[in-house]
Amino acid sequence: MRVDVKICGLRDAAMLDVAVGAGASHVGFVCFAPSPRHLGPDALAGLAATAPRACTRVAVVVDADDALLAAVAPAVDVLQLHGREIPARVADVRARFGKPVWKAAGVRTAADVRALVRDFAGADALLFDAKAPEEAPMPGGNGLRFDWRALAEVALPSRWVLSGGLDAATVADAVRLTGARAVDVSSGVEDAPGVKSAAKIRDFVKAAHG
């Protein structure tokens, strides 16, 4: 079975086309003002509308309130909550907005992974990212990797996504070592923060599928 690939942090139609053409199954749009990949709700909706139906559109938000979620949810297929949302908030967002919810969080140790799996059984998928440094302005999109061995010690749910510091050079090993069926990348397919590279996107998807 082909590994699902989410190219995250897309900001323009040209790179969206590259991602879709390369074979990405998911495309991600970040709505979080401190991010160099930030799109406001209108820009996000406009770009998401151009994605083909076969591609799953994911909105990435951080501790978003209902007003923001109401603005982005109709434009996408999945809401990725990438902040300090608690399990009850995940359940609330699922019920209120009628979209699958991915809970994303930074992990460092097997204990972190175990806690996430235990606490967020109600999420439609878990996205394991690297823990951001305390001083980092963003909880994700930092190009940082965690020790994938943390995943091996925990019974994982059926739907989870491997993320954090992946690139074309590492993704095949990451898939082989973790058994991931879905991977996510942002910095690893960029030339600079927020500036996607067509060549890196193509290389990443090819390596993930390889």
Ligand X SMILES: O=C(O)c1ccccc1NCC(=O)[C@H](O)[C@H](O)COP(=O)(O)O
Smallest gap, in angstroms, from Cβ of residue 166 to ligand X?
6
In angstroms, the CA 35 to CA 38 distance is 5
- Examine residue 5 and tell whether it contacts ligand X (CB under 6 A): no
Residues with Cβ < 8 Å from 163, sequence gap 6 or more? 104, 127, 128, 129, 130, 140, 183, 184, 185
Which token pair is 45?
Answer: 């909706």
* Closer by beta carbon to ligand X, 32 or else 120: 32
CB 183 within 8 A of CB 4: yes
Positions marked active-site: 8, 129
Stretch that binds ligand X, among 46-54, 67-75, 111-119, 162-170 (CB under 6 A): 162-170
Which position among 186, 196, 201, 204 is part of the footprint of ligand X (CB under 6 A)?
Answer: 186
Stretch that binds ligand X, among 69-77, 110-118, 173-181, 185-193 (CB under 6 A): 185-193
* Closer by beta carbon to ligand X, 30 or else 125: 30
How many residues bind ligand X, per CB under 6 A?
Answer: 27
**What values do phi and psi take at 79, rounded to 5?**
-105, 125
Which uninterrupted H or E stretch holds 88? helix 87-97
Smallest gap, in angstroms, from Cβ of residue 140 to ligand X?
3
- Examine residue 41 and tell whether it contacts ligand X (CB under 6 A): no
- Examine residue 26 and tell whether it contacts ligand X (CB under 6 A): no
In angstroms, the CA 9 to CA 16 distance is 10
In angstroms, the CA 9 to CA 193 distance is 10
Smallest gap, in angstroms, from Cβ of residue 169 to ligand X?
13
**What values do phi and psi take at 4, rounded to 5?**
-70, 145
- What residue ranges bind ligand X (CB under 6 A)? 8-9, 28, 30, 32, 35, 37, 60, 62, 82, 129, 138-144, 163-166, 184-188
